Amino acid sequence: MAKPLSRARPTTVSGRDVAKDMTGDQLEVVEERALELMKETMQEELTNPIPHIFVIMGASGDLAKKKIYPTLWWLFRDGLLPKKTHFIGYARSSLTMKDLRAKTEPHMKHPWGDSPLESQMRPNFQQFCAALEIKEDEKAKAAEFFRLNSYQSGKYDVPGDFQALDQHIRKLQTSSGQANRLFYLALPPSVYHDVTLNLSKHCMSCDQDCWTRVIVEKPFGRDSQSSAELSHHLSSLFTEEQIYRIDHYLGKEMVQNLMVLRFANRMFSRVWNRDNIASVVITFKEPFGTQGRGGYFDQFGIIRDVMQNHLLQILTLVAMEKPISTSPEDIRNEKVKVLRCIPEVKYEDIVLGQYVGSSSAPEGDEARNGYLDDPTVPKGSKTATFVEAVLFIKNERWEGVPFIMRCGKALNERKAEVRIQFHDVPGNIFCPDLVQRNELVIRVQPGEAIYMKLMMKKPGMTFGVEETELDLSYGSRYQGVKMPDAYERLLVDVFTGTQIHFVRSDELAEAWRIFTPILHQIDTEKPDPIPYEYGSRGPPAADELREKHNFHYAGTYKWVPA
């Protein structure tokens, strides 16, 4: 059994923490002081004399290669890791550090992978990549990074291999045996049980001034029962403070911004309720299919892959009540509270789809292939690659407001956004065909933006009305500000010990409660998903379901970029 954390780690510092000792006219310096404190906290970690050992379990895999190693490199390059940090890769394959470097280095150049689709999606992408490539003057730094890396091969169920890993870690500790240990499980769920058991038995830090943290990737189970088993297993080995359940959407700029937008702006807090809001639509779209990895996807389907975790996390941040403070526990208490108000999803409130090849796509293009053409997908699979689901929150603020979540692969664009649609204007005096509902859109990606669709007098002599927007596009408002990748933020959080942006076990249990009955029904009844064409907007039935649930699409809005 792992020992609990020996000393309280700093969690988060906010203006409020500092403000309590201050008088009114000092308040303007509060945020500055908060920033200073945050820097001090970070500084403490950065200059911590105790070494940090970051172990990547599953170092030979896709996630490690494409996300974890590159993220560690960017943090190292930018001086955002504690001074003495060592990295150990652990996996079954017999690899040398040279092999591992050859595998990972191509992904360290820029954070979004180099698929041609990505380059199409992002304006100036090529320029951006060039700016992020390992430049001449960074080569020495990169060499230093790889010098701090080592690799240890071992099985996931052999205790002796974990003892060897522990010995390896010990060699990197201080002479008095101190090191903080971080284990990132970039592994398939089938080995979670053995790996966590062996880590807890053989690889925990023994020094009372040092800590051990374990970072767990989704899927956190397949349904309520399997998730509860996993949670029970983990909690028998580690304390909740030691477990960091990662949902990388919680590391995205605009997802983190939701709390500030809502709770630091009075004009939003007053209208954020059933009296003003007609519906909320949370969307995730990807313009590519399974890309030959359908075998993995098919075991889960789009609800487990994206909706039950990423979209539901966004929903909780949109809908929760204001927490007492910005401490992780206060925030997560509110998230759990709102989840508890959501009844299970019903079959009549969902639309399932599966993409088919587009005959109009050029010969040889991926879009020619449907989901079932992926050779790794079981023949005749009915797994959904698109889903729309309507959820309701039974509380005073939200009773009757549909929260419509939709996500899908092989759609017409890459997009993740939250769209708040307001009620019609009561007693409208203008031409009813011209006055459309207000919408507040929080675009998570690509190109972070917040825009408010509203009605204005048409400029000029006439007294007409027209639809326009108040537009806060980050690209132009925050030029030159480097937007960290979600994993960068989240790994820094693990080092500094803040769990705000990580999923607590009770939150997870509630998320599974909401989706388990529908998932079981789909697994047993295997309903036919509605076919939709690769590159389309998804099944029209999804638009009909949204219309039925008080989301009106007028088709009149035209955006004219500045």
Ligand X SMILES: O=C1O[C@H](COP(=O)(O)O)[C@@H](O)[C@H](O)[C@H]1O
Ligand Y SMILES: NC(=O)C1=CN([C@@H]2O[C@H](COP(=O)(O)OP(=O)(O)OC[C@H]3O[C@@H](n4cnc5c(N)ncnc54)[C@H](OP(=O)(O)O)[C@@H]3O)[C@@H](O)[C@H]2O)C=CC1
Q: Could you say which residues in the range 523-562 bind ligand Y, by CB under 6 A?
A: 537, 543, 553, 557, 559
Task: Quote the radius of gyration of the chain (alpha carbons, Å).
Answer: 25
Taking residues 507 to 526 in sequence order and writing x for each that binds ligand Y by CB under 6 A, - otherwise, the string is --------------------
Contact with ligand Y (CB under 6 A) among 223, 240, 241, 469: 469
Contact with ligand X (CB under 6 A) among 50, 186, 306, 312: 306
Nearer to ligand X, 10 or 188 (CB): 188
Size of site (CB under 6 A) for ligand Y: 15
Catalytic residue among 52, 110, 168, 310: 310
Nearer to ligand Y, 403 or 512 (CB): 403
The tokens describing 558, both together, are 């035209």
Nearer to ligand X, 154 or 484 (CB): 484
> d(Cα 395, Cα 340) in Å, to the nearest integer?
10
Helix (H, G, I), strand (E, B) or coil at 407: strand
Contact with ligand X (CB under 6 A) among 305, 374, 488, 510: 305
Least separation in angstroms between CB 448 and ligand Y: 9
Q: Is residue 419 classed exposed, middle or buried when 0-12, 13-18 and 19+ CB atoms within 10 A define those classes?
A: middle
Answer yes or no whether residue 298 interacts with ligand X by CB under 6 A.
Answer: no
Least separation in angstroms between CB 69 and ligand X: 17
CB-CB contact of 237 with 2 (8 Å): yes
> d(Cα 477, Cα 306) in Å, to the nearest integer?
30
Give yes or no: 310 in active site.
yes
Q: Could you say which residues in the range 415-454 bind ligand Y, by CB under 6 A?
A: 419, 441, 447, 449, 451
β-bridge pairing 277-285 and 403-408 = parallel
Q: Is the preceding peptide bond at 106 cis, omega within 30 degrees of 0? A: no
Nearest to 485 by CA among 45, 38, 62, 74: 74
Least separation in angstroms between CB 248 and ligand X: 6
Q: C-alpha angle with apex 556: 555 to 562, nearest 5 degrees?
A: 115
Nearer to ligand X, 249 or 398 (CB): 249
| DSSP 8-class letter at 342 | P
Nearest to 278 by CA among 467, 541, 549, 555: 549
CB-CB contact of 141 with 77 (8 Å): yes
Q: Could you say which residues in the range 343-362 bind ligand X, by CB under 6 A?
A: none
Least separation in angstroms between CB 550 and ligand Y: 13
* Residue 306 partner contact from ligand X, ligand Y, none using kind-dependent CB cut-offs of 5 to 8 Å: ligand X
> d(Cα 373, Cα 365) in Å, to the nearest integer?
13
- Site for ligand Y, rule CB under 6 A: 281, 283, 419, 441, 447, 449, 451, 469, 471, 473, 537, 543, 553, 557, 559
Catalytic machinery residues = 310
